[in-house]
Structure 1
Amino acid sequence: MSESGAQATRRLALRIQYLGGGFYGWQWQPGQRTVQQCLEAAIEKIQRQPVRCSAAGRTDTGVHASAQVVHFDTEKRLVPETWRRALNAVLPEDIAVQDAAWVPPDWHARFSALWREYRYCIYNSTVPDLFVRSTSWYYPYSTLDERAMASALDTLKGQHDFRAFRRAGSNRSHSLVRIDEVECRRAGQLITVRVRANSFLYGMMRLLVGALAEVATGRWSVQRFAELWQSGNREAIKYAAPPQGLCLVGVGYPVDPFRTNETVTSRCDTGQEPSQTILNESGF
């Protein structure tokens, strides 16, 4: 306790889920319902003080998260489990806190992260399934070739300039991204595209999936896909996949603040099998 009698602040990390359909993205926007606004309002109800949260990924309007990580500073002396239960009691039904943990004062949800992982879900069938429609792109027009999509994804691995998959409006000074892992697989009518990278450009995943759909229908060859993004031809990447199919499913740190050296299961709630990621001291 300081000389003034005030409690010293501590930093708390949260792992949260949210269904993005009811939000205008993560970040505060005047007059709009956002995840950050709702989470901060819930924290303020508990600690009776203003708060500002930082997130590992600033998801866009309509995008979901099954493993978003955020942090905030607080003087409130509650154990992490009590924070988790208290927040879930006052949060709206489309946000849930999965884990809470104290972290060092210099730890940052965004800047301490080694990687983020997004998964995009496409429901490729002539018959809609209402139970996955809010968390996937319903694509009834033709049968998509997931093997061609996988081949196109393989051209992305490594560090490259991905300006072709960058929406206008970003203030980032460069378009360099290191993509570490990619995957495309089909389970029945559901196709999932998974990408793990050190960071993502503004709108990158939705533009990428829109371009992959061109490959999957046969309109583009894998070679043309690679040539377009490698040349930085943003004009050729015309269509972004809709937001509801996208989900932030993991964030990696040098040491997982929630379950160090344990298996963490995350799932985009669209019916596919869960993915398991070991978060150890290397972050993988």
Structure 2
Amino acid sequence: MRMALGVSYGGTAYSGWQSQPGGNTVQDRLEAALERFATVPVSTVCAGRTDAGVHGLMQVVHFDTSLERAPFSWVRGTNTFLPPDIAVQWAQPVPDSFHSRACAVGRRYAYVLLQSPVRPSIEAARVGWVWRPLDEDAMREAIEHLLGEHDFSSFRASGCQARTPVKTLRRIDITRRGPPAGAGGPHGAASCYWRFDFEGDAFLHHMIRNIMGSVVAVGQGLRPPAWMGEVLRARSREAAAPTFSPDGLYFLGPQYDPIWGLPERTAGYDLLP
């Protein structure tokens, strides 16, 4: 039978999702836990790989097994052997035709950014950080250039293995939580949290982190909003801003056709600003 799992994890301690010889990846830890529960090796396929330091709120994987257990047993049994920062959120049997990556019709990410004169502490490694105030109107104008189908070579890591740099960004939302813009704090500008939501058919390696670097450059007034369009048209990584920190990046999960009947969110969604 084929099983699908929804997995959440904090990526700070791991070298990304994909298995590596050193074994310090989320996939390595998950497969080791599955093997201990199932008493046989288990090989998983994920919906979307994440980089070192990137968090996952609902990574979806599938695997084939001859072990017959109730879905809840897969959740509790596997979690028994996982570290505290990785947990299976749900398990569900799926048809053999289901493939966690190939059946995904979209993917969602969020980037959470702290704007503050003082670096983060309790939220360290969970948020990105800027100390200069950001201009929301300028950032909104800049991201309009990215919506739709484009060649995103300017935001593609040199080691990206995607077959094509052409992707479709369907939605980018910006929300702000905190004191009103312009309010003062003990060190000048008031602190606040920014959340950037991305939805697209697929993403290139480092694509969102590279976009965030350029969005922040515009928000801080280092570049005009129209510059984002120039970067996109250049189709050159050298045209864009440096890659932004992985700390505030969250893989919210893939999107599937409702026919598969899979959950669309986990409890962790409600923790983000």
TM more than 0.5: yes
Paired AA for residue 127 in structure 1: V
* Matches of 1:168 and 1:271, distance apart in 2: 30
The 5 Å alignment of 1:1-284 reads 10-140=1-131, 142-188=132-178, 189-255=192-258, 257=260, 259=262, 264=265, 267=268, 271-272=272-273
* Matches of 2:267 and 2:225, distance apart in 1: 30
* Matches of 1:164 and 1:53, distance apart in 2: 32
Shift of residue 131, structure 1, vs aligned partner: 2.3
SS at match of 1:171: coil
* Matches of 2:265 and 2:171, distance apart in 1: 18
Shift of residue 155, structure 1, vs aligned partner: 1.6
| CA RMSD across the alignment | 1.7
* Matches of 2:203 and 2:155, distance apart in 1: 10
Q: Structure 2 stretches of 5 or more lacking a match?
A: 179-191
The range that moved more, 54-63 or 130-139, is: 130-139
SS at match of 1:222: coil
Note if contact 1:161-1:176 (Cα within 8 Å) is conserved in structure 2. Answer: yes
Paired AA for residue 207 in structure 1: N
The range that moved more, 242-251 or 12-21, is: 242-251
Q: With the length of structure 2 as denominator, give the TM-score of the two structures.
A: 0.90
**Identity across matched positions, percent:** 35
* Matches of 2:58 and 2:259, distance apart in 1: 12
* Matches of 1:264 and 1:271, distance apart in 2: 13
Paired AA for residue 44 in structure 2: C
Note if contact 1:166-1:234 (Cα within 8 Å) is conserved in structure 2. Answer: yes
SS at match of 2:226: helix
SS at match of 2:58: strand
Q: Structure 1 stretches of 5 or more lacking a match?
A: 1-9, 273-284
SS at match of 2:12: helix
Paired AA for residue 21 in structure 1: T
